Structure 1
Amino acid sequence: MFLGIDIGTSSVKAVLVDERQRIVATASAPLAISRPRDLWSEQNPEDWWVAVEQAVGQLRREWATAWSGVRAVGLSGQMHGVVLLDEAGLPLRPAILHNDGRAFAEAEELNRKLPAIGTIAGVPAMPGFAAPKLIWLGKHEPEVMRRARKMLLPKDYVRYRMTGSFATDMCDASGALLLDGAKRQWSPAIVEACGIAMSLLPPALEGCAVSGQLTGAVARAWGLSPGTIVAAGAGDAAAGAIASGAVNEGDAFISLGTATQYFVAREAYNPAPQHLIHSFCHGLPERWFQMAALLNGAGALSWAAGLLGRSDIGTLLDETEQAFTGSPSPVLFLPYLSGERTPHNNPHAKGVLFGLTASTGPTQVTQAVLEGIALSLADAQGYLEETGALPDRIAINGGGSRSRFWCRIIASALGKTVLLQDGSEAGPAFGATRLARIAATGEEPAAVCPKPPVEAEIVPDPALAEAYAAKLTAFRTLYQAVSPHFRLSSN
């Protein structure tokens, strides 16, 4: 039995998987985001640990026999977040998350100071990455940086609480924008440009390497065997890819979580910084990936439900599907509630509902939100296609994949067949179990990471695809028209 834990933005998910890679049980615990200022997005690292213990406790209570057989643990988590620890290993401040845009000036500064950063690290500096955040902290919270002894990514803080060990994986290290992607090691040039010491960074390991063992106290508290190993794991993008079997050249998948990623596996490092495509290390040795990173995804649907005063998102989706006429919504939605990376690199970008009338109803707004995310994926797909061939069939996972109606919209907007794989909802947590298994058994990754069985294929609707192609033009035009006003509205 293998345990995977995913530290998401909106929740912690834990999954138990048996030797035949069947999902035995899942559990989750919610997380909240703090936005104390405009562009800021933070979480308390202690909240992750509390949520992990809640999810783990549920699995232990409800699946005692399976739980007792856990051999290894794998970790996945939201990427790019900055956790700073002091000499005693305690967090010095709340974690600054992936969708935090405060370091926009520092990102521009880093790009000027080190023009080659996009080639070294795989993409130019953007505000959400750890590197510009560290520069921001040095300027605005110098006492915190003076006291900082270690910087960790979100899942790596949980690892530290589990094992007492400092480590990260190659994918999360890439996402910090501090790694030399070709050499798969921390970049002295970027570290120096950020004004930090190399000692601040944890060892960067391959995702299937053993990173430590559960401490005696944690093993006893969780009812697991002393010495249970913990794999290095992977950032959620790579872990989700490993879950879907996207590990070989050209394999692609979409992760539709709070944020969204459009991911293509590569067998060589091939940065394309001019397109704002992220070229990072994969969670497996000698593998890389290219990715369009979108800061907005299923989180926009949660926002819309709140805006409409609806607590049951599933019912709202059912009503929207029943009202669907086979045509795009008359409302156009720019989904940039948390700014955007690919293809805009604009932390000031805002959400826009355009085309509202006195007759606009909740289902039209909800459909527009679903379409806005689909169109943002189609917008990014054009840039991905300039870096290499994309397949005609693309897997999709994450919480948003539960809605087949939404998947139909995405398939039509992309002109691609969307594949729902068995266990796709488990996503990165399932990928973490695969890395845990390789760490425990030494098996070859190819044997452990096949593509799961396809549960459903959703093909593009030709008429809807044609309509969305036209709407994509309007989507891009609307962004260009309103984008000059975004920064003004941030003041």
Structure 2
Amino acid sequence: MSYLGIDLGTSGLRALLIGEDGKSIGSAEKHYNVSNPQAGWSEQNPQHWIDALDGAIGELKKQHSEFSELKGIGVAGHMHGATLLSADGAVLRPCILWNDTRSYKEAAILDALPNVRELSGNIVFPGFTAPKLEWVKNNEPDIYAKVAKVLLPAAYLNFYLTGSYVADMSDSAGTSWLDCSARVWSDELLKAGHMRRDQMPSLVEGCEVSGELKSELQQKWGLSNTVIIAGGAGDNAAAACGIGALDEGQGFVSLGTSGVILAARNAYVPDPATAVHTFCHAVPDRWYQMGVMLSATDSLNWLAGITGTKQSELTSALGDKVLPPSSVRFLPYLSGERTPHNDAEIRGGFTGLATSTNHHDMTQAVIEGVSFGLRDSLAALQSTGAKLDGLTAIGGGSASHYWLQLLATILGLPLHLPKGHEFGAALGAARLGQVTAKSIAPEDVIVAPEISQTIDPVSTLQPQFDEAYQNFRLAYSGLKAIQ
């Protein structure tokens, strides 16, 4: 038998086929664009996700005979997106994405209401789903009146696959409508956001059945088996499943479009004031917490774009050994920030620029600034009681050995690199599909990968970076004062 993991990312979809032994058989990727019709807006047409999935499935079917033995599917997706459907299941408008900050005023109003933080376990961030619907209500009332269902991106793909409205706990925890302790839709939170329970999908755990593959897709894909669709997961919960982070003390740092430090928790210990996210995990009776910064590799993408240079060229020019802190400082708030500032309106900046400043100096400053931002998240996590002796490093930025050495030094933690390339959200989703289809314990499949390398902090530079980090925090205060 084979199992399929689908990672619905912000810039593209990745489909990973694994075998009974959990090893990769093959994968396919399809890309699409994000629309930014106004400053701070970020949207996608859900049809692009379907087109990308159909294209990826076509490749896997053509290239790997094992696809015909498909038994289970798990879907992971970027969280918080608002996909609005009419009563007949039609998409009413482009999906408003996780990094869209237009609803910052609505978020602040919801966040100030009694019991909202207590029930959801989180600040109501502008990127969350509930304030998006408040914005639609206030600015697109005709569309709002037609909303019969609100689905997160992964749940929308599940709807395409099964024809049923079902969402998993880990993804739904980022809506501000879920009671993350009881793992149920909260009538009080729904009322606060002017939503109804019938507009919500049914809830399942990530390793529970959400439905079966529709007969028309089964026929189109050339399958004779009944294919089980798992509840799936939000992207970071799926990534945690991909690197086997289920229990206390396990976690990862992700250098992707956004930057994330995640810690698995065996108990529900929210602390919204830290701006740490406290969400349900993709398996029952577990949670996870994470600090999130909105522009991680996106900051390097921005620098590469304005300098007309490839990311890899920028980072490779720094060499192999970590340099002392740059005299140029970068504040990585290109799209606002979540942890620890909860500030949708703050924007980034450079300080210390001189006529002698070049691409090399700016690159060093950018990756130092992102790393300092991740240290902010680590400090916030540690304040909630999370204990982390090391982190698994994932995401596109982890391809830079320089960046990993720098990050280990700034965080003061060893970073572990998994062996091979299959350890992210697509693998986690495939594992959830396997667990669900076989009705087995998650711990039988969701295990830690073999580690190929451990990168330790550069101890001789830690005092300098500790001082630079304190200056970074002061620079944020200064930037905030003038914006």
Matched, 1:195 2:187: no
Matches within 5 A, 1:41-440: 41-62=42-63, 64-113=64-113, 115-225=114-224, 227-310=226-309, 312-321=310-319, 326-423=323-420, 426-440=423-437
Q: Is the 8 A contact 1:82 1:95 kept in 2?
A: yes
Residue identity opposite 2:49 in structure 1? W
What's 1:463 paired with?
460
Q: Secondary structure at the match of 1:74?
A: strand
Cα 1:54/1:360, change in 2 over 3 Å:
farther
Cα 1:366/1:214, change in 2 over 3 Å:
same
What's 1:489 paired with?
none
Query: Structure 1 stretch 353-362 or stretch 41-50: which is displaced more?
Result: 353-362
Matches within 5 A, 1:3-42: 3-42=4-43
- Residue 404 of structure 1, CA deviation: 2.2
2-side partners of 1:24 and 1:361: how far apart? 44
TM-score (norm 1): 0.95
- Residue 423 of structure 1, CA deviation: 4.1
Query: Structure 1 stretch 178-187 or stretch 208-217: which is displaced more?
Result: 208-217
Cα 1:464/1:61, change in 2 over 3 Å:
farther
Q: Secondary structure at the match of 2:16?
A: strand
- Residue 328 of structure 1, CA deviation: 2.2
- Residue 107 of structure 1, CA deviation: 1.1
Cα 1:88/1:466, change in 2 over 3 Å:
same
- Residue 34 of structure 1, CA deviation: 1.1
Q: Is the 8 A contact 1:82 1:152 kept in 2?
A: yes
2-side partners of 1:11 and 1:396: how far apart? 21
Q: Is the 8 A contact 1:7 1:76 kept in 2?
A: yes
Cα 1:164/1:423, change in 2 over 3 Å:
farther
1-side partners of 2:119 and 2:295: how far apart? 26
* Matched residue count: 482
Residue identity opposite 1:388 in structure 2? G
Q: Is the 8 A contact 2:322 2:406 kept in 1?
A: no
Q: Is the 8 A contact 1:239 1:431 kept in 2?
A: yes
Q: Is the 8 A contact 2:252 2:263 kept in 1?
A: yes
Q: Deviations over 1:290-331 (max 9, x none)?
A: 111221222222121111102x32233222336x66222332
Q: Is the 8 A contact 1:402 1:425 kept in 2?
A: no
1-side partners of 2:183 and 2:388: how far apart? 27
Q: Secondary structure at the match of 2:112?
A: helix
1-side partners of 2:12 and 2:410: how far apart? 28
Q: Deviations over 1:15-42 (max 9, x none)?
A: 1112222122222112211111121111
Q: Is the 8 A contact 2:242 2:427 kept in 1?
A: yes
Matches within 5 A, 1:466-477: 466-477=463-474
Q: Is the 8 A contact 1:398 1:424 kept in 2?
A: no
2-side partners of 1:485 and 1:45: how far apart? 39
- Residue 358 of structure 1, CA deviation: 1.9
Query: Cα RMSD over matched residues?
Result: 1.5
Q: Secondary structure at the match of 2:80?
A: coil
Q: Deviations over 1:164-212 (max 9, x none)?
A: 1111110111011111011100011000011111111101110001111
Q: Secondary structure at the match of 1:14?
A: strand
2-side partners of 1:338 and 1:305: how far apart? 17
Q: Secondary structure at the match of 1:420?
A: strand
Q: Deviations over 1:410-448 (max 9, x none)?
A: 111100000111345651111001100110111111111
Q: Secondary structure at the match of 1:175?
A: coil
- Residue 464 of structure 1, CA deviation: 2.7
- Residue 227 of structure 1, CA deviation: 2.6
- Residue 72 of structure 1, CA deviation: 0.8
Q: Is the 8 A contact 2:128 2:176 kept in 1?
A: yes
1-side partners of 2:204 and 2:337: how far apart? 29
Cα 1:355/1:221, change in 2 over 3 Å:
farther
2-side partners of 1:224 and 1:462: how far apart? 55
TM-score (norm 2): 0.96
Cα 1:313/1:337, change in 2 over 3 Å:
same
- Residue 249 of structure 1, CA deviation: 1.6
